[in-house]
Structure 1
Amino acid sequence: MGFKLLLFYHSLMYFIFFNLSLTTILLVLSIINYVLRVKEYNINYVNYIIICMSLGLFLDFFLNISTYLPSNLPTQPETTIIVFISQLFLFISIALLIITLQHSSCDIIDLDYPSYLKSRKGSINLGNVVSQNKKKHKFFLSLEDLEKHMFVCGSTGTGKSNFIQNFLINFTKNHDIPFLLVEFKGEYICLQNNIKDMLILQPGENFSLNIFNPKGSIPEIHAERIFDILKSGQFLDESTEYSPQMQKVLVDILTEVCKEKKYQNWKGFYLKSKEYLKREHKKIPMLAQTLISIRNRIRRFSVGPMKAIFSSNTDLKINDLFNSRVLIDLSSIIRLGGEKEDALFFLNMILKYLWDENLTRGGREYNGIKHLTIIEDAQYFVPQDITKKTKLTTYLEDIALLQRGTGECLISIATRPKVSEEILANCGVLAIFKTHMEKAFQSELLNLQEENQHYLSILEKGTCILRVNTIKRPFLLWSPRIERNGLHNFEIQKNNQMIMEERYVF
């Protein structure tokens, strides 16, 4: 009888210690689960493990309660203490699980997401749809949605540039369509590692454009174009205007400069100005003062870093610029001693050529996207108070408003939605990353319900709320991180040379 009692006692202790081991493991998992949840890691599978273990231990205890607490066992204080500790661990674990689940429910973005079939209708892989903090299937953007332009917005460091880089890499895999990407900070240079035929142009360093060379067009028309560009460069000084006489004189001189190759530089411009003064001073009143005013207004473009950028004898054909995949890094102008305004003026020139190119092409044979224009930091180029600005912003606005029918697609990236309403009203794809500003306005753009506005403040890095025209409701999207391996200048030059030799661009 004593042997059986001893055997029973040892068996009981085995069950009790085994139960204690399981509850200890459960408690450790619960603590880890809570800590990870506080740090906002996606650990839903740990919740399932904890729930299953808790249910199992509860069932084990209640089904075998007579074993854990036998009525005929002699009083054993250590057994009672172990059972108490084991059950205490179990209840603490359950309490931690409840706290963790309540904590997680505050940070989960609950949006419907497109089905697998709807997500596969496009051809451009943007990333994975997300639901309940879990990545689901991949989402492919269609050209049909992209044709209506794209706007990407979010605070600095939230993943906008990575989103665009991922988009361009996957876009170029399936579509042989040229693009022009313009940026200020040089953070897209690494794309040349992934897009092998992308030229990197750095104004003043490896790229320049002679604005006086008509390149086959009529000199008179080209002169009018230069006047528009020079006029638009005065956007910082709203009181500065060109009088009708000043406009006539400047266009006449520009026409003479553009007609002869040897005069197609700033030196030739000033020489032709002197000749014009000698020839026309009797016909045009106060011509000398008019020429002085013209020189004062164009000084910023004819001296300093901008002089070399706009008067170099380069062989670049502007048409080739829009038939290739090109990154224009405007930060080179700043490095050369120019200002942000000089970089904006340079872009204005490029956009004017793009505008003319699209008008020449027209929309008579429209069959989808023929060219992409991607503008980083669009808030500098298309500010919301557009009516107070000059032609610089008008070109981008008109591209969005009028040139979709010519096959032009505009992609604008900004830190805040303080851009032209025409840009926002004419976009078929809208991606909003984490932001704390203008949430009501951006929620309206996304067609996001008012009670869900706070979603915009709890988005994780690399995750955005996406709205596309062909899907009724906005949804959560995660984009994979693109490794940024920098390139030295000699590598850029080498890669550019290889691209030019293969494509015969220049």
Structure 2
Amino acid sequence: MNEAFISFLETSFLGIMMSAGSILYVQAALITILITFSIVGLKLGRECAGLFSKGAYYKRFKWILASTLKVTSLPLQVSREEKRSENALFYPFQHLTSIWHEVDEVSYELRTAGREVAVFFHVFGKGSTLVKAAKKLRKALLSVKASLETRFPGLVLSIPSYEELKDIFKLHRGKPISAKRKAITVMLPSGERKICVLKASGGVDTTYSGLTQIDMLVRGLVQLDADASFIVCFKPVKKRFGVIRRNGPALSEKAAGLWSVSCYVLLELDEKDLELESKALQVKNILSTVFSSSSEKLEIKVVGGRALRKKYHAVSMKRSFEKSFELSSLKLSALTNLPMKGVPGLNLMVKPEFNIPPERIFQGDGVKVGYVVFEDKKLFPFNLKLEHLRKGVAVLGAIGSGKTRMIMRAAQSIAADYKIPILIFESKGEFASLIETLSPDMLEKVIILRPGSPYAPLKINLFDPGEMMPDEYARRLFGLLNAVFRSMFREDSELTVQMSRVLSDVLPEVLRTKEARSIEGFFHILREYGRREGQNPNIFSTVSALEARMNVFLRGILGEVFNTKSSNVSIDDLLKKVTVIDFSYLFSNGGNKEDAQLIMNLVMLHVFQAGLRRVNVNTLSHLVIVDDARFLIPEVFVRRSTSDTTAIEDMITLERGKGQGLILVCQDPSVSRIALANCNTRIVFRLSFKSQSEEEFVRMSLNLPEGQKEFLLTQQNRSAVVKIPEYPHPFPIITQDYDVKEVTPTMVEKHNRTYHPYLFKDSEKIDVNQFLEWVASMGSVTLEQAAKQMKMRLSNMKEVIKKLEREGYLLIKDEKIFIKSC
């Protein structure tokens, strides 16, 4: 009843007294007031209850709001207070004393359902109006959350969703329909359920050794296989807060704060369950065993059905009911402690201590990919600096841990903000989303290639050395072919000595002869070699065996890529644009990782050789990203001699001074140790290890102490440990989320045909008459103008012009192209 209404009644009463002056009028006035109070009381005392987006509410004479904090992750040894007395441990209680002045009522709930465990803290706000109750609730909720997270570093609390709240407060949505001696029957939206409550009171033992009381209680309730909630509701006992003795050896119980406590276990059973009494007896024995000792005894009794029905609204909101008993914060902590051991349904997180680098380290040119964190709180942005990329970055993490999303964000920022060309190898088809996320003015510099596909074709002349010396390219190509043959012909684990000798003799001859640089040219020279060496009795069988092996480059996916006389991408495409070579089509159409390894290493050979021609710089000028480094460095190369290295290993060790950057992304460290060891920046997400050596390698590369290595196995998604050259210690980060836009094959083809139509046409398919008419209309043109007009690569256009010059149609003078006059 509000103050204005009371003031109105008092004024009316005094007015009647002054005007009447007789007993009769006074009696009539009193009767009027009593009737008015009764009517208003009935109206104000009407019950209403329900749920809102953040919790539950109940109103009769005043508003009671409840909101819930759910424990979603527990730090390891969260409940241990390293303070020993006679080989026993005491619980931490400081968080309880800190909230003593801030809360009206709090409930701790340990719930077991379906052999899974959940822990909740229900915080209540009370007020005569909804606004007042909401203000108190907000203040109390913030206080409880801050105290718990401060006292238990690494504890993760969250407010449940509305659907979760409907399950947490499902009894609040029900209605009791009958009461028996030891239980009531409740009608819920899901059907009828029996509810039994066992109330506990008395003394609580606050010491433990080994398992905590809460851990023992969890195991007992889980083994009971019952839907049970252990609820401890506590309210501060005001004006009883003791004084700390300055000279005393320890805090008195009153100095720790007194609480009015209501403790009970709520059992929920199906209506047809006949084991109510046996389960109630087992719960009683579990509670008595866990919390009682020789000096302290917890008394447990079953609440009668009629009493339970009267107080149903309190039980349904996890609030106190019936008589309570008083406990200090120290003893209350034994009842409301958090599980210390792993339990089903709750994550037990290892939370090591990390040193945090100064923010100034991350200033300068770079891309923001996340935040440096301390105790799960974001401190400042984590920028992956361009200098880090130039010196090599290794990113390790299990599938789904967030490593690829982080690199996709970095690639987009590098291309958009710094206009640095990137070559990307991937196999999931995700980097094609760059054509949707980059600005329109950048799209002409993005090429999407999917080897073997008709809509994003990649054509490579296997025998084109590009910028490399023929003999050096022949040696590299021999190693790649040997790796391919080893994977394809299992019965012959590798080339015989005779086949190796023949192949090593033929390859240089093919590459030295420009006209022979094709599959057909290789076969021709191989057969000529066989005829020259005819005196060798086994030469023809060796030649036939090599032909059979080389035929794999004429069929299937490899045939689509290598059965060509000229490549459809140039070295300029690889070094001056954002080029994505995506193997998703290859893998989904019969290709294997050995096919991808061959293509990747051939491309990298040309990129490496071209990079050597760049001048020495101290800035990033080109970046290579490998989304799965296992494809780039085949195991066969790791097992060969130390002089036989891959292009990626050569690049990372020899081209740092040329501005060449590298990002290696892998699911585990089972790739070249040469490459990983030369990446100065390491970012490790959640990771599992195949061997002890892998675990030790990663731990040592991060400079991670022995006791913290388990943290790598339990990290949450998007969380990682980082080691950078500027700071000697590893530190934690959390990456930003990145939304990958879906890109269909039709969208990829449309993009390529719009900006890179030369990918789809060969030099022989040019309309010569149309081209000559255009040149005649222009008078003279440059090579670049001709290539742009005919939508062809420069190298292909150059070949067409030379052919037309030989045939007498064109004249080239001072880098200008004219129509040759008759």
Q: Which residue of 2 aligns with 1:131?
A: 374
- How much does 1:402 deviate? 2.3
Q: Which residue of 2 aligns with 1:295?
A: 547
Structure 1 counterpart of 2:355, one-letter code: D
Distance 1:344 1:93 in 2: 63
- Summarize the Cα distance change of 1:20–1:169 in structure 2 as closer, same or farther, 3 Å threshold: closer
Q: Which residue of 2 aligns with 1:199?
A: 447
- How much does 1:88 deviate? 7.2
- How much does 1:61 deviate? 4.1
Q: Which residue of 2 aligns with 1:5?
A: none
User: Whose helix proportion is higher, 1 or 2?
Assistant: 1
Q: 1:252-287 deviations in whole A, cap 9, x for unaligned?
A: 24544xx33xx6543454345456656x45798865
Q: 1:59-84 deviations in whole A, cap 9, x for unaligned?
A: 7342799xx99xxxxxxxx9xx9795
Distance 1:136 1:433 in 2: 19
Verify the 8 A CA contact 1:129 1:475 in the aligned structure 2.
yes
- The answer on 1:166 being equivalent to 2:409 is yes
Give 3-state SS (helix, strand or coil) of 2:609's partner.
Answer: helix
Between stretches 331-340 and 349-358, larger displacement belongs to 331-340
- The answer on 1:371 being equivalent to 2:622 is yes
Distance 1:446 1:218 in 2: 40
Q: Which residue of 1 aligns with 2:632?
A: 381
- The answer on 1:432 being equivalent to 2:432 is no
Answer 1 or 2: higher relative contact order, Cα 8 Å, separation at least 6.
1
Q: 1:42-69 deviations in whole A, cap 9, x for unaligned?
A: x9874227799xxx9647342799xx99
Q: Name the larger-Rg structure.
A: 2
Q: Which residue of 1 aligns with 2:657?
A: 405
Distance 1:273 1:244 in 2: 12
Q: Which residue of 1 aligns with 2:77?
A: none
- How much does 1:392 deviate? 8.9
Distance 1:243 1:101 in 2: 63
Q: 1:99-151 deviations in whole A, cap 9, x for unaligned?
A: 37999996434312223333334522121111111122111122222222011
- Summarize the Cα distance change of 1:19–1:265 in structure 2 as closer, same or farther, 3 Å threshold: closer
Structure 1 counterpart of 2:736, one-letter code: P
- Summarize the Cα distance change of 1:158–1:93 in structure 2 as closer, same or farther, 3 Å threshold: farther
- Summarize the Cα distance change of 1:93–1:171 in structure 2 as closer, same or farther, 3 Å threshold: farther
- The answer on 1:251 being equivalent to 2:508 is yes
- How much does 1:491 deviate? 0.4
- The answer on 1:60 being equivalent to 2:60 is no
Name the Cα RMSD after superposition.
4.4
Gaps of 5+ in 2: 1-60, 67-101, 112-117, 123-140, 151-233, 243-253, 261-310, 312-319, 488-492, 759-783, 794-822
- How much does 1:356 deviate? 1.5
- How much does 1:240 deviate? 4.2
Structure 2 counterpart of 1:47, one-letter code: K
- Summarize the Cα distance change of 1:201–1:408 in structure 2 as closer, same or farther, 3 Å threshold: same
- How much does 1:161 deviate? 1.0
User: What does residue range 115-194 of structure 1 map to in structure 2 within 5 Å?
Assistant: 115-194=358-437
Verify the 8 A CA contact 1:464 1:478 in the aligned structure 2.
yes
Verify the 8 A CA contact 1:34 1:97 in the aligned structure 2.
no
Give 3-state SS (helix, strand or coil) of 1:137's partner.
Answer: strand
- How much does 1:447 deviate? 0.8
- How much does 1:192 deviate? 3.2
Verify the 8 A CA contact 1:434 1:458 in the aligned structure 2.
yes
Distance 1:324 1:494 in 2: 18
Give 3-state SS (helix, strand or coil) of 1:170's partner.
Answer: helix
- How much does 1:307 deviate? 1.8
**Could you tell me the TM-score, scaled by structure 1's length?**
0.76
Q: Which residue of 2 aligns with 1:208?
A: 459
Distance 2:711 2:584 in 1: 34
- Summarize the Cα distance change of 1:151–1:214 in structure 2 as closer, same or farther, 3 Å threshold: closer
- How much does 1:429 deviate? 0.8
Verify the 8 A CA contact 2:597 2:634 in the aligned structure 1.
no
- Summarize the Cα distance change of 1:298–1:58 in structure 2 as closer, same or farther, 3 Å threshold: same
- Summarize the Cα distance change of 1:347–1:487 in structure 2 as closer, same or farther, 3 Å threshold: same
- Summarize the Cα distance change of 1:189–1:89 in structure 2 as closer, same or farther, 3 Å threshold: farther
Structure 2 counterpart of 1:151, one-letter code: A
Verify the 8 A CA contact 1:124 1:171 in the aligned structure 2.
yes
Distance 2:517 2:635 in 1: 37
Q: Which residue of 2 aligns with 1:328?
A: 581
**Could you tell me the TM-score, scaled by structure 2's length?**
0.49
Q: Which residue of 1 aligns with 2:338?
A: 99
Verify the 8 A CA contact 2:511 2:517 in the aligned structure 1.
no
Distance 2:461 2:450 in 1: 15
Residue number among 730, 740, 746 corresponding to 1:484 in the alignment: 740
Verify the 8 A CA contact 2:397 2:668 in the aligned structure 1.
yes
Verify the 8 A CA contact 1:223 1:254 in the aligned structure 2.
yes
- The answer on 1:471 being equivalent to 2:724 is no
- How much does 1:97 deviate? 6.1
Distance 1:228 1:63 in 2: 81
Q: 1:315-372 deviations in whole A, cap 9, x for unaligned?
A: 42133222211111122222332222112111121111122212333xx432322221
Verify the 8 A CA contact 1:208 1:308 in the aligned structure 2.
yes
Residue number among 598, 605, 618 corresponding to 1:352 in the alignment: 605
Residue number among 719, 740, 749 corresponding to 1:493 in the alignment: 749
Verify the 8 A CA contact 1:109 1:133 in the aligned structure 2.
no
Verify the 8 A CA contact 1:463 1:479 in the aligned structure 2.
yes
Verify the 8 A CA contact 1:203 1:333 in the aligned structure 2.
yes
Distance 1:500 1:45 in 2: 60
Q: Which residue of 2 aligns with 1:230?
A: 481
User: Whose strand proportion is higher, 1 or 2?
Assistant: 2
Distance 2:645 2:736 in 1: 33
Distance 1:198 1:49 in 2: 52
- Summarize the Cα distance change of 1:51–1:163 in structure 2 as closer, same or farther, 3 Å threshold: closer
Gaps of 5+ in 1: 1-16, 38-42, 70-77
